[in-house]
Amino acid sequence: MDVFSIVKPEKQEGYLMRISVLKDETKHLRAEIELFKSSSNSVIRDSLFESAVIRASKLVRNSGFTVKSFREYIRQGCLKQFRRELYRVLDNFEKEEALLANRITRLKNRRDRVIVHMDPRFAFHPEREDENRVDLEDLEVICCHLEGQIAFFSGNS
């Protein structure tokens, strides 16, 4: 499905700008994950991991622009005759994201409570670590989820 062609003409420029940003951010996320896996320097690994947590979090759950808000932009900008088919795909992405809710919540917690704000109620209490724990597997699963959507919306699926 060529999503771009079924978006209202007045929404197409915005579509292209938004998908470009999301594609770049997702590529950067993948690069950070791969560099993390190949690095042996603990400082570099820690920096890459924190950066990947921040980047992944802002792509899936943020107060600003996210993949979810892009899906909503497409939903609102779809030509009427294509809604049924497109909405089914968008709903499937929503369901897939709902299955990742626990990982996404931990990702957001890690970003907000430990990396960005160092909230003393969470950052310095080992008994609360599980609420904020993010593993490489979490990042990879979320990145794959994002890459699948980007491929679909870019016409590469």
Task: Examine the pLDDT at 124 and tell me if it is beyond 80.
Answer: no
Q: What is the pLDDT of residue 107?
A: 94
Task: Examine the pLDDT at 13 and tell me if it is beyond 70.
Answer: yes
pLDDT band at 157 (very low <50, low <70, confident <90, very high): low
Average of per-residue pLDDT across 91-96? 97
Bridge partners of residue 7, in order along the sequence = 78
Task: Examine the pLDDT at 149 and tell me if it is beyond 80.
Answer: yes
- For helices 83-99 and 136-153, angle between their N-to-C axes, nearest 10 degrees: 170
**Per-residue pLDDT tens for 48-80?**
999 999 999 999 998 789 999 999 999 999 999
CB atoms within 10 A of CB 57: 24
Compute the half-sphere exposure of residue 95: CA atoms within 13 Å on the CB side of its CA: 6
Percent of the chain with pLDDT over 90: 80
CB 149 within 8 A of CB 68: no
153 closest CA partner among 9, 39, 7, 54: 7
Task: Examine the pLDDT at 40 and tell me if it is beyond 90.
Answer: yes
Q: How far is CA 121 from CA 25, 106, 128, 130, in A?
A: 31, 16, 9, 14
Q: What is the pLDDT of residue 127?
A: 81
| Among the ranges given (68-82, 92-106, 108-122), the one the predictor scored with the smallest mean pLDDT | 108-122
The model's pTM: 0.92
pLDDT greater at residue 117 or residue 50: 50
